[in-house]
């Protein structure tokens, strides 16, 4: 989601005769730490005159489900503003989600978490647990102060990675999904989602990709997770209906979505 200062800059293009196509979901995340003139912005721009002018007064609401089964779609629609569960407290929404999507003892393909510390811990546990007896290469992560820092890991053919970077380079981009075809201490050969292959250095792979067993809620917006998805931290003080909505709606089948128990 664009923040207010960026909207202010982009909107100036309207004076050049630029036509805008604006795409988004007001029920997903707001811009992080959005501020204007030093003050926080607490109101939504959804019905603002700015967006009305940029879009020429046109709006189209997409309401047909193309990602998941009806159970996921209907539940997510019930917890957002205007939904049948919108009036419930956050704890009541979580309790309803636990009833709708109970946890099992099956291994999750993707664990959604709030903190990067928990992301790194789960990824480390799964990486060690699934390490083959041979054919894996251990690489040390570079030292960095960034919150979404990479971590030491065993890399092997068949392992999946997700892009984590600011700028696109060829087929390598932020949020892109890749399968390792071959890996050693000098280079990686990857297969992108479109089937194309690319080769990058091991150093670049460590810096610009992350393991996918655990992902933060902040990074999964827009992704489709085909496999078993487990939502963690649902009782965390920073959990809100937007994260619950985004997390559940990443799944493709209701029997593959689970809410971690207390």
**% of residues, the chain, pLDDT over 70:** 100
How many CA atoms within 13 Å lie on the side-chain side of 38?
Answer: 0
| Phi, psi for residue 123 in degrees, rounded to 5 | -60, -40
- Token readout for 180 is 């390792």
- Token readout for 55 is 């879009």
Cβ(42)–Cβ(30) under 8 Å?
no
Q: Mind listing the pLDDT tens digit for each residue in 226-249?
A: 999 999 999 999 999 999 999 999
pLDDT score of 238: 93
What is the average pLDDT value for the chain, to the nearest integer? 92
Q: Pick the more confident residue, 39 or 82.
A: 82
Evaluate if pTM is beyond 0.85: yes
Average pLDDT over residues 61-66: 88
| Phi, psi for residue 205 in degrees, rounded to 5 | -60, -40
| Phi, psi for residue 120 in degrees, rounded to 5 | -65, -40
Q: Mind listing the pLDDT tens digit for each residue in 185-210?
A: 999 999 999 999 999 999 999 999 99
Place of tokens 């049948």: 84
Q: Mind listing the pLDDT tens digit for each residue in 100-129?
A: 999 999 999 999 999 999 999 999 999 999
- Token readout for 192 is 């992108």
pLDDT score of 38: 82
CA 129 to chain centre: 24
Cβ(257)–Cβ(73) under 8 Å?
no
For residues 135 and 197, what is the distance between their CA atoms, to the nearest angstrom? Answer: 20
pLDDT score of 239: 96
**Domains in the chain: ranges and CATH:** 4-54 (no CATH), 70-107+225-259 (no CATH), 131-213 (2.30.30)
Place of tokens 């087929």: 171
Other C-beta atoms lying within 10 Å of the C-beta of residue 210: 23
Measured CA distances, 41 to 9, 23, 81, 242 (Å): 17, 21, 19, 17
For residues 31 and 108, what is the distance between their CA atoms, to the nearest angstrom? Answer: 29
Q: Mind listing the pLDDT tens digit for each residue in 122-152?
A: 999 999 999 999 889 999 988 888 888 899 9
For residues 121 and 114, what is the distance between their CA atoms, to the nearest angstrom? Answer: 12
Measured CA distances, 140 to 137, 205, 207 (Å): 10, 11, 10
């Amino acid at each position: 989601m664009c923040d207010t200062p960026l909207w202010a800059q982009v909107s100036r293009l309207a004076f050049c005769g630029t036509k805008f196509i604006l795409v988004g979901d007001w029920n997903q995340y707001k811009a992080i730490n959005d501020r204007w003139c030093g003050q926080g912005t607490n109101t939504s721009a959804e019905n603002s005159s700015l967006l009305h002018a940029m879009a020429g007064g046109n709006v189209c609401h997409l309401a047909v489900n193309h990602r998941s089964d009806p159970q996921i779609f209907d539940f997510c629609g019930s917890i957002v503003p205007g939904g049948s569960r919108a009036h419930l407290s956050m704890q009541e929404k979580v309790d309803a989600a636990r009833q709708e999507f109970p946890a099992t003892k099956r291994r999750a393909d993707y664990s959604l978490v709030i903190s990067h510390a928990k992301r790194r811990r789960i990824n480390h546990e799964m990486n060690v647990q699934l390490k083959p007896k041979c054919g894996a290469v251990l690489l040390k992560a570079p030292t960095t102060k960034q919150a979404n820092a990479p971590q030491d890991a065993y890399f092997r053919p068949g392992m999946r990675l997700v892009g984590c970077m600011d700028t696109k380079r060829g087929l390598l981009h932020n949020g892109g999904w890749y399968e390792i075809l071959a890996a050693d201490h000098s280079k990686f050969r990857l297969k992108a989602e479109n089937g194309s292959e690319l080769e990058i250095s091991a150093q670049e792979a460590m810096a610009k990709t992350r393991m996918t067993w655990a992902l933060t809620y902040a990074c999964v917006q827009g992704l489709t997770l085909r496999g078993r998805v487990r939502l963690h931290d649902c009782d965390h003080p920073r959990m809100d209906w937007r994260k619950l909505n985004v997390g559940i709606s990443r799944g493709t089948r209701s029997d593959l979505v689970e809410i971690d128990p207390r």
